[in-house]
Amino acid sequence: MRYFSRDSDWKAIMGLLKGTLTFSRYRVAGDLPPDFPGFVNRQIRKYSFQDIARGVDEISMGWTSIENVLDTAFEYANYAQGDYLLFALRIDRRKVPASLLRIKTRQAEKEYLAETGQKRLYTDKRRDIKEAVRLELLSRSLPTPSLHDVCWCVSKKWLIFGTNSEGTAELFEKLFEQTFHLKLLPFRPWDPDNLDQAIEEKMASLERSMAIFPEKQGAS
């Protein structure tokens, strides 16, 4: 990941502003609420990225402006661009390295035994110690941020999101639905929703058998 001196140079994953683009496609399902522009303006700020300086959340996420990662106020509805809504999702992830967790847990167990004079630890106690150590380490670890562009064509009901990662896409879908009360359907051109009815009927007879050459079963 690269950092730049100016906020606006912080390059998002999809690269809507410059560079190459990596993205997934969606159809946006559901009816737009009345006073859609007003609704968007309220909701995008309500679910904008909140910086948590010190905490134990493994993930914090929210919307930011596409050009300036520090802009979560969206003044003058700067996400609106013609027929498109353009913004970005910032996800900050914290992670405790597994090896460090193991070492620190053993250390804490040893200290506990020494303090209490006990000979051995019960499973429950061992689990409690491990969780306490994990939370302590998590609160001290620095988050790794990532940015993903969103381009939403409202009139044509499609949207693209800057990732190919399933995990990140899931987080995005959830927050999008929570924010805008609309459902996102991953776009696959073979889904019935994207086909004429005549074609859809023919599809029923389609089998997994293009068989230029048949797949060798159980080949190793």
- Which spans of this chain sit near other proteins (rule: CB under 8 A)? 16-17, 20-25, 81-82, 84, 86, 151, 160, 164, 186-192, 199, 202-204, 206, 208, 210-216, 219
Q: Which is nearer to other proteins, 137 or 151 (CB)?
A: 151
Contact assessment for residue 19 and residue 10, using Cβ atoms and an 8 Å cutoff = no
In terms of CB distance, is 138 or 185 closer to other proteins? Answer: 185
Shorter beta-carbon distance to other proteins: residue 85 or 96: 85
Given a contact cutoff of 8 angstroms between Cβ atoms, the answer to whether 43 and 113 are in contact is no
Using the Cα atoms of residue 189, residue 194, residue 199 and residue 203 in order, give the sign of their dihedral: positive
Q: Report, in Å, the least distance between residue 23 CB and other proteins.
A: 6
Give min distance, CB of 146 to other proteins, in A: 16
- Tell me how crowded residue 29 is: count the other CB atoms within 10 A of its CB: 11
CB nearer to other proteins: give 29 or 52.
29
Residues shown for the chain: 220
Supply the minimum distance, in Å, between the C-beta of residue 100 and other proteins: 31
Q: Is 132 helix (H, G, I), strand (E, B) or coil?
A: helix
The CB-of-81 to other proteins minimum distance in angstroms stands at 6
Q: Is the dihedral of CA 100, 101, 104, 110 positive or negative?
A: negative
